[in-house]
Structure 1
Amino acid sequence: MSSEATPIAERHAILSGRALPDNDRVRAVVAPFAARWILRGGAEVSAPAGAAFGAPPPLEPLRAAAEGARAALWLGPDEWLLIAEDDEPGLGAAVEAALAGFPHALTDVSHRQCAIELSGPGAARLLNAGVPLDLDVEAFPVGMVARTLLLKAEITLWRREAERFRLEVARSFAPYVAAVLTASARDQAAG
């Protein structure tokens, strides 16, 4: 047997070391690691899932519900993205146990995607360089969520505050999304 210590795996963010916009109009930061699940089921799963998870999956289309470090985002009539930034051990098992007896599917997607937070008075304009939605606060109000595209990348876009957005993106598209945001910020600064 070797006397060398067993190497320990370390989690590295896919966007570590990548440039992101940071100027007087918009700031983008990589959101900390979060546990994520896709929940599929009828409206009857919302209450028990919400009680176990800590944020109730919203039944109103295109909305998010957030409680502290937990959020549930409406993705479709029977689909939600559950996000837990506090990474509580056993949380997924607790939600699964609360849903016993209800037809549902709960899938851990924690390592499938990452998030970028954008904030500042220029955040909506920066996003509109690649997102085909009207991001005026009247058309896309605080708390609204939509699956959309940022040029060629599918994202889930959540307006958390008037000048603050969260982009959920597949890890494989994250470098592309970061490059698009950075190039768009550079173009806007030059214009």
Structure 2
Amino acid sequence: MADVAMTMTPVRRAPLDGLAGDPRARWAVPMARFSLRLPEAAIGAASASLGLDLAGPINNVAEREGCAILRLGPDEWLVLANDADSAAIAAALDRGMPDRRFSLVDIGHRQTGIVLDGADAADMLSAGCPLDLDLAAFPVGMATRTIFAKAEIVLWRTAPTRFHIEVWGSFAPYVWALLKEIGREYPVMENTP
């Protein structure tokens, strides 16, 4: 009997598509998401394979057009990329690291992203997040795992007044609704996107 290989394509969509919310919050575009784990000795080879410096400090982001790699720990990165580049990322690591000293797991099916943008974004997040989100303490390009109320999130500041929130799909409606509720305390300014 011949072996049959099955290929499954994960569904990448925002949970509760079309859910109304605060105009400062929107679902991030669908993207590929990977958890990358590798030992310190393999960081150089992985950096060369992906074309980004993964050796930067923990809680910082390496990015280029269409790809951002968030360093969450000494041996842990979250890779966010264009959906079309999903296979290329895995192939680049396979080619550049023949010793296979890495773990790359597609987590695009389990989590989604929310973008919060506006002058009150940091204050809105501070209502449920214990971090100091002042620009001096949490600058542009910083990313970390934290909590928002009762949900674990990865928080990344992409601009002075814009944050990207990565959250598991099952918690996304909770985070979305909480942002909408908190937003009621911060009137929407006319120039808010």
Q: Into which bin does the TM-score normalised by the smaller protein fall?
A: 0.7 to 0.9
Structure 2 residue aligned with 1:96: 94
Residue correspondence of structure 1 range 30-45 to structure 2 within 5 A: 30-45=27-42
Structure 1 residue aligned with 2:170: 172
Structure 2 residue aligned with 1:63: 60
Identity value in percent: 42
SS of the aligned residue for 1:52 comes to helix
Residue correspondence of structure 1 range 11-22 to structure 2 within 5 A: 12-22=13-23
Cα deviations by residue, 1:18-50 (Å, 9 ceiling, x for unpaired): 12211xxxx111111111111111223333323
1:72 aligns with 2:89: no
Residue correspondence of structure 1 range 175-190 to structure 2 within 5 A: 175-189=173-187
1:139 aligns with 2:140: no
How far residue 97 of structure 1 moved from its aligned partner, in angstroms, is 3.0
Unaligned runs of 5+ in 1: 1-8
Segment of structure 1 superposing worse, 58-67 or 128-137? 58-67
* Alignment length (residue pairs): 178
Contact 1:54 1:70 in 2 (8 A): no
Unaligned runs of 5+ in 2: 1-9, 189-193
How far residue 71 of structure 1 moved from its aligned partner, in angstroms, is 0.5
Structure 1 residue aligned with 2:3: none
Contact 2:44 2:55 in 1 (8 A): no
1:150 aligns with 2:112: no
SS of the aligned residue for 2:179 comes to helix
Structure 2 residue aligned with 1:5: none
How far residue 86 of structure 1 moved from its aligned partner, in angstroms, is 4.6
Cα deviations by residue, 1:140-181 (Å, 9 ceiling, x for unpaired): 011111100000000000011111110000011111110010
Contact 1:56 1:72 in 2 (8 A): no
How far residue 89 of structure 1 moved from its aligned partner, in angstroms, is 5.2
Structure 1 residues 58 and 72, CA, compared in 2 at 3 Å: closer, same or farther? farther
Normalised by the size of structure 2, how large is the TM-score?
0.84
Distance in 1 between the 2:105 and 2:46 partners? 13
Contact 1:31 1:114 in 2 (8 A): yes
How far residue 12 of structure 1 moved from its aligned partner, in angstroms, is 4.3
Contact 1:96 1:106 in 2 (8 A): no
Segment of structure 1 superposing worse, 131-140 or 39-48? 39-48
Residue identity in the other structure for 2:48: A
